[in-house]
Structure 1
Amino acid sequence: MGDLNTTGSITRKRRATLSAAKASNLQPLSEIPARLALGDPSPENEPRNRRERTKTKSDTRSQNSDISARLSCHKTQQSLLSSASGYSNYRGILNWCVVMLVLSNARLFLENLLKYGVLVDPVQVISLFLNDPYSWPAACLVIVSNVFIVVALYTERQLSKGSFSERVGFLIHFINLAVILTFPAAVVLLLPSVTPVGGAFALGIYTILFLKLYSYKDVNLWCRELSTVKARRMVRSLSCPTPQHFHKGEHKVCYPGNLTIRDMYYFVFAPTLCYELNFPRSPEIRMSFLLRRLFEMLFFIQILVGLTQQWMIPIIQSSMKPLEDMDLSLMTERLLRLAVPNHLLWLMFFYSFFHSSMNFTAELLRFGDRQFYKDWWNSESVTYFWQNWNIPVHKWCLRHFYKPLLRRGVSKMASQSAVFFLSAFFHEYLVSVPLRMFRLWAFTGMMAQLPLAWFVGRFLRGNYGNAAVWMSLIIGQPFAVLMYVHDYYVMHYKHEEA
């Protein structure tokens, strides 16, 4: 009995297994797993086989590429220093130039210290402004300038009310502007207590005031013209800005609501020469930015004074004898010796004035337009340099002098020449009057920019033009400095030594 039961159970198990096999064989072909079709019935081996096949293919490709690299190692390409390569990252070379410049000038500075000793004297700087400690003529001149500001504001108020005719207003403005230029010049020339440095400072303030009040006169005249024709938009000035210039809590001022003491003195102190009824304003005063600019101003003033006393003055003094003897070789040597420190001081002055001081003033007044200069160091023509190194003056010349000449039918070349002539006049005015001698070196130097601009624009391009601009800056300025210093020395000290 037991054997029969055992045999029956085995038979039932075989039948169950055969039934399961038949059922699996009856499954549709689409339901067969992909691994059975690939001949790998084991799920555990699927990732390993895929990796092995991928590795085999990648190994084959790497072997092929390695063989190709060994067969060919060249391709069409340009040298990095070639202009056709498009390469522009020369930071390492620039750093090398800076290091070489610092090392060479450090040697010259050390040689100067060993030869002349320490010449820096801060007390001597004060004497450049004051002959008599109880008499401040240059400061008094600056204080008197408020009279001309009040006259211009009063005239515009009377014109807005119709109390003055346009002809009378023009006459008052003309006299006011003429006196702004002649009165301080007469004081500097006739008053011996005004030092050359103090006189240059006072005349610089009056020149800036002249340009500002001229712009003030023009813009208010344009506003009256627009109100006469009942125009809604100002075409020839930016006195009606778009709403993005204003921040929360600010409102737009319209003519004649701008004719106030507050508006006038904001414009007088603002770092611009072109007047607007509504200047773009920054949202707030950034104290960290303000303090950085203040530190830069104080630092560069000390550096400028120290380098002038220690470096430039000894070279200038040693240049007097070759200039008197007309020794061309020694004159050239002194000129080249003076070129580097003079240019270094000019660069420091540019940064301290156009970046540090003007940004400091703009931040303090929340003046929004901070474009005081552009990339003049990339100038490939003389014209581009003069248009971009001093943006406030360029804007004034373009707005109030160059374009009005074009509108009156003057040719473009004649208008450009007139702009250079005006610039040459003010350069000579700011140098000759404080020195109390008229040699026209500054005037001639500025007018010489016209043929130089034509030559560079006609014959030089790209890097050659940029090099020509740098050469004119590095060599031209010290040449003018030597000429004025020599003439001043001959006029004031030569007879005393004789």
Structure 2
Amino acid sequence: MGDRNEKGSAKHRRRTTISGEAAVTQAKRGGAAETLSGQVKEKEPQKHENAAGRQKNHSDAGEDTFSCHKLQESLLSSASGFSNYRGILNWCVVMLVLSNARLVLENLIKYGVLVDPIQIISLFVKDPCSWPALCLIIVTNVFIMAALYTERKLSVGTISERTGSFLHCINLSALLFVPAGTVLSLSSVTPVGGVMALSICTVLFLKLYSYTDVNKWCREQRQAKARTLSRSHSCPSVHKANGTAGYTHVTYPGNLTHRDIYYFAFAPTLCYELNFPRSPRIRKRFLLRRLLEMLFLMQLMVGLIQQFGAPEGNPHEHGENM
């Protein structure tokens, strides 16, 4: 009986141990299932996020393919680095022409064509002495020649420096005051002609002042070199300076020529130099184009003044009204 009880208790113990091990394994299985379900649940939103991101990328790519604009600085701002505004200027000219086309048509319909180039030429041919401003501009050659011959006398030593400075002062003062007094005294001088004549005389005054100063500096340098050198070496140097007038590099007093002073008078500068920087050749085609453009613009301005500036003075209209 005792052995049976012991066997029965052992069976119960084995059953309990087996049942306990089964519970542990079941618990482990349940935990693994929970972790697996959690991982599955975590993966599902990641899939949804990836799908949403792919859809967004596809939508962005689709928008980029159909978009022609991008973020950039304005072309009218300095930060854009754009500097060619030729198209904007052309557009402004086109708008200006279109906005004034109606006025042009009204003027042509009402007055007709009033442009007469023969009338402008006849003003110069019939009475050329009635242009005192032009005569003043021609008279400026006297002041140029006076400055040139005074410098020649100074270079040779015929007159002293004080006498030359006095003559230059008289010449430059006359260049300023004589044209101004003529414009004030003559009533036939037009405002446009008076302004042009006085402007040219003022510019020529500044040019001749620079011309006299540079030549004075050249004389001082030559005298300083002559003092440092001996008499036997100073004479050949003067001969060399006089002989280099025909070469490209000009030295004093070889610059005291009519060609040199008139070149300086027409050069677009106020500072005189003995040797101006020059190009190897004269671009004749370029110069001819610029002259033709200047003449064309002058004729265009005269034609516009005749057509639109004073249409009331048309004799044909007065004849029709009578």
1:78 alignment partner in structure 2:
72
1:260 alignment partner in structure 2:
257
Residues 423-442 of structure 1: pairs in structure 2 closer than 5 A = none
2:15 alignment partner in structure 1:
none
1:417 alignment partner in structure 2:
none
2:105 alignment partner in structure 1:
110
1:286 aligns with 2:280: no
User: What CA deviation, in whole Å up to 9, does each residue of 1:369-418 have, x standing for no partner?
Assistant: xxxxxxxxxxxxxxxxxxxxxxxxxxxxxxxxxxxxxxxxxxxxxxxxxx
Out of 139, 147, 151, the residue aligned to residue 146 of structure 2 is 151
Quick one: distance in 2 between partners of 1:133 and 1:303? 22
Instruction: State the 4+ residue runs in structure 1 displaced beyond 6 angstroms.
Output: none
Deviation at 1:101, TM superposition (A): 1.5
Quick one: distance in 2 between partners of 1:201 and 1:72? 65
Q: 1:81 to 1:119 in 2, by over 3 A?
A: same
Deviation at 1:306, TM superposition (A): 1.0
Quick one: distance in 1 between partners of 2:199 and 2:108? 34
Letter in 1 for 2:299: Q
1:306 aligns with 2:315: no
SS for the counterpart of 2:294 is helix
Residues 53-452 of structure 1: pairs in structure 2 closer than 5 A = 67=58, 70=61, 77-81=71-75, 83=77, 86=80, 88=82, 90-126=85-121, 132-133=127-128, 137-191=132-186, 194=189, 198-230=193-225, 251-313=248-310
Q: 1:138 to 1:191 in 2, by over 3 A?
A: same
Deviation at 1:286, TM superposition (A): 2.6
User: What CA deviation, in whole Å up to 9, does each residue of 1:37-58 have, x standing for no partner?
Assistant: xxxxxxxxxxxxxxxxxxxxxx
Quick one: distance in 1 between partners of 2:151 and 2:293? 39
SS for the counterpart of 1:273 is coil
Quick one: distance in 2 between partners of 1:198 and 1:80? 46
User: What CA deviation, in whole Å up to 9, does each residue of 1:219-253 have, x standing for no partner?
Assistant: 222323444555xxxxxxxxxxxxxxxxxx95211
Contact preservation (8 Å) 1:77, 1:85: no
Q: 1:92 to 1:189 in 2, by over 3 A?
A: closer
Q: 1:312 to 1:225 in 2, by over 3 A?
A: farther
Q: 1:274 to 1:302 in 2, by over 3 A?
A: same
Deviation at 1:90, TM superposition (A): 4.8
Query: Structure 2 regions of 5+ residues with no counterpart?
Result: 1-53, 226-245, 314-322
Contact preservation (8 Å) 1:138, 1:194: yes
Quick one: distance in 1 between partners of 2:126 and 2:192? 11
TM-score by length of 2: 0.59
Q: 1:120 to 1:200 in 2, by over 3 A?
A: farther
Letter in 2 for 1:257: G
Contact preservation (8 Å) 1:215, 1:275: yes
Quick one: distance in 1 between partners of 2:293 and 2:259? 29
1:433 alignment partner in structure 2:
none
Deviation at 1:311, TM superposition (A): 2.6
Q: 1:91 to 1:266 in 2, by over 3 A?
A: closer
Q: 1:143 to 1:87 in 2, by over 3 A?
A: closer
Greater RCO, 1 or 2 (C-alpha within 8 Å, sep 6+):
2
Letter in 2 for 1:259: L
Contact preservation (8 Å) 2:183, 2:194: yes
Residues 46-57 of structure 1: pairs in structure 2 closer than 5 A = none
Quick one: distance in 1 between partners of 2:274 and 2:220? 15
Contact preservation (8 Å) 1:188, 1:199: yes
Task: Provide the aligned C-alpha RMSD in A.
Answer: 4.0
SS for the counterpart of 1:99 is helix
Quick one: distance in 2 between partners of 1:142 and 1:227? 35
Q: 1:79 to 1:118 in 2, by over 3 A?
A: same
Q: Work out the percentage of aligned pairs sharing the same amino acid.
A: 65
Contact preservation (8 Å) 1:137, 1:193: yes
Query: Structure 1 regions of 5+ residues with no counterpart?
Result: 1-62, 231-248, 318-498
Contact preservation (8 Å) 2:73, 2:80: no
Deviation at 1:262, TM superposition (A): 2.3
Query: How many correspondences in the alignment?
Result: 237
Quick one: distance in 1 between partners of 2:201 and 2:310? 28
Letter in 1 for 2:113: V
> Which has the greater radius of gyration?
2
Letter in 1 for 2:91: W
User: What CA deviation, in whole Å up to 9, does each residue of 1:113-166 have, x standing for no partner?
Assistant: 334443333344357668835666455444432221121012212323344333
Q: 1:216 to 1:92 in 2, by over 3 A?
A: closer
Q: 1:99 to 1:194 in 2, by over 3 A?
A: closer
Quick one: distance in 2 between partners of 1:132 and 1:265? 29
Quick one: distance in 2 between partners of 1:150 and 1:314? 45
User: What CA deviation, in whole Å up to 9, does each residue of 1:144-201 have, x standing for no partner?
Assistant: 3222112101221232334433333222111101111222333344455555555455
TM-score by length of 1: 0.40
